Amino acid sequence: MSATFGLFLPRNIRFGRGAAGATADAAMALGERPLLVHGACAGRADWLIQALDAVGRKPWGIACPREPDVGLIEQGVALGREVNADVVVGLGGGSVIDMAKAVAGLIPAHGEVIDYLEVVGGGQTLDAEPLPFVAVPTTAGTGTEATRNAVIDVPSARRKVSLRDPRLLPATAIVDPALTDATPRHVTLASGLDAITQVIEPYISCQANRFTDALCREAIPVGLQALVRLMTDEDPAARDDMAWVSLSGGLALANAKLGAVHGLAGPLGGVTDMPHGAIAGALLPPVLRANREVVQGSVATRIHEVEQWIAGALACGSDEAIDRLAAWSRAKGLPGLGTAGLESSSLAAIAEAAAGSSSMKGNPVVLPAARLVQAMEEAW
């Protein structure tokens, strides 16, 4: 655990049922010409468009119908500049929030999108102050409403990488669990496993600290139990819990990094169409297993705690918890990596690419490429 740390947080966070009603006021406080990034179905944003229109701030809108790639970001930036937007609002799942965040950062910038991307781009620092940004998530998964990076697909490089800058943190994050009610079962499962992964990885990270520990120790068991309930029945209280876990994961990863699950998820996401949450959910058990084999001391204790929390949610012994989590996820419909059209011969190159990712730097130990390949095979 790191004894010295700094904190990167959104300027304002509003959490709870009904919180979304403050979205128009939050946007108005930041600008007069809002650009709204929403999901594929624009109708789901009607309530916010009407609320902004009622106060004379009718927004320009752009859809994010898939995980954002360079082309989508360029379209959003071009529209924002054309209409002289001075505030960006993202209303949707993690992909929508990532797109809105990137667009807010790049509208004032002077270079091309690729100039600012890590790993496959120029890695340049944003050369102008980003526009203020309001994040309103409608799924409980990535926690991107509380992070300082936006994940972008770069098809030419077959990689998903980040645009990263502390100034990309939202001016206001509004987390209203009611917006996640009735999320389809398969989306709930994949995004929920991603949220759980994003409180487990910071907890065992080599950069964990007292702040992230306080979030993760509560969030891990709460998230596991809530997701088990949601795979049985629609439960508003469980939706509330998952929204909190997702937010906690965003806060934790922004301040302690992630690990090998997300280190592998970047290159895997670049070569498949498999949703990010499904990749994370499939990789979590084998990566936990790989780390457990080699860690010692306090990290070993933490992994054992995670096993006990999993065991409590799935009613099994802690010695079988990781295997049980993998079996439970598959039984509830989570696909394996083998369904994504991957060739086993490509796994070595994916492991090599993952070694240089930012997330991999948070893993508690350096896992050899051969062990990363084995983890992907176990997630098959």
260/347 same-domain check: yes
Share of the chain above pLDDT 70, in %: 99
Same-domain check for residues 198 and 211: yes
Q: Is residue 7 part of a domain?
A: no
Q: Distance (Å, rounded) from C-alpha 225 to C-alpha 213?
A: 19
At 14, which helix (H) or strand (E)? Answer: strand 12-15
pLDDT band at 5 (very low <50, low <70, confident <90, very high): confident
Same domain, 272 and 147: no
Whether 14 and 174 have beta carbons less than 8 Å apart is answered as yes
Q: Are 160 and 192 found together in one domain?
A: no
Q: Is residue 110 part of a domain?
A: yes
User: Which pLDDT score is estimated for 348?
Assistant: 96
Question: How many angstroms separate the Cα of 349 from the Cα of each of 176, 267, 344?
Answer: 40, 9, 10
Distance (Å, rounded) from C-alpha 252 to C-alpha 207? 10
Q: pLDDT by residue (tens digit) across 171-221?
A: 999 999 999 999 999 999 999 999 999 999 999 999 999 999 999 999 999
The mean pLDDT of 138-142, rounded to a whole number, is: 96
Asked if the structure places residue 341 within a domain, the reply is yes
135 lies in some domain: yes
Same domain, 132 and 233: no
Note whether 31 and 278 are within 8 A (CB): no
In sequence order, the 6+-apart residues with CB closer than 8 A to the CB of 369 are 348, 351, 352, 355
Residues 214 and 230 in one domain: yes
For the chain, the domain total comes to 2
251 domain residue, yes or no: yes
Range of the domain at 262: 183-378
Which of helix, strand or coil describes residue 30?
coil
> Taking all residues of the chain, what is their mean pLDDT, rounded to a whole number?
96
Domain shared by 27 and 113, yes or no: yes
- The predicted-structure confidence for 354-366, as pLDDT tens digits, reads as follows 998 889 999 999 9
- Could you give the CA distance from residue 242 to residue 180 in angstroms, rounded to a whole number? 9
Single out the residue in 178, 213, 228 at which a domain terminates: 178
What are the tokens at 14? 């509003």
Query: Count of CB atoms within 10 A of residue 110's CB?
Result: 10
pTM, 2 dp: 0.95
* Confidence check: pLDDT of 1 > 70: no
In a domain, 300, yes or no: yes
Residues 191 and 314 in one domain: yes
Residues 343 and 297 in one domain: yes
Query: What CATH number has the domain bearing residue 228?
Result: 1.20.1090.10
* Residue 3 falls inside a structural domain: no
E strands, 17-156, are 34-38, 60-63, 87-92, 133-137, 149-154
Domain end (from 162, 178, 194): 178
Last residue of a domain, one of 147, 178, 209: 178
* Residue 46 token pair: 């009607």
268 and 171 in a common domain: no
Assigned domain for 6 exists: no
Both 339 and 221 in a single domain? yes
pLDDT of residue 370 exceeding 80, the answer is: yes
Q: Within this chain, do residues 76 and 118 fall inside the same structural domain, yes or no?
A: yes
Q: What are phi and psi of 89, to 5 degrees?
A: -120, 130
CATH of the domain at 125: 3.40.50.1970
Residue 4 has what pLDDT? 83
* pLDDT tens, residue by residue, 212-262: 999 999 999 999 999 999 999 999 999 999 999 999 999 999 999 999 999
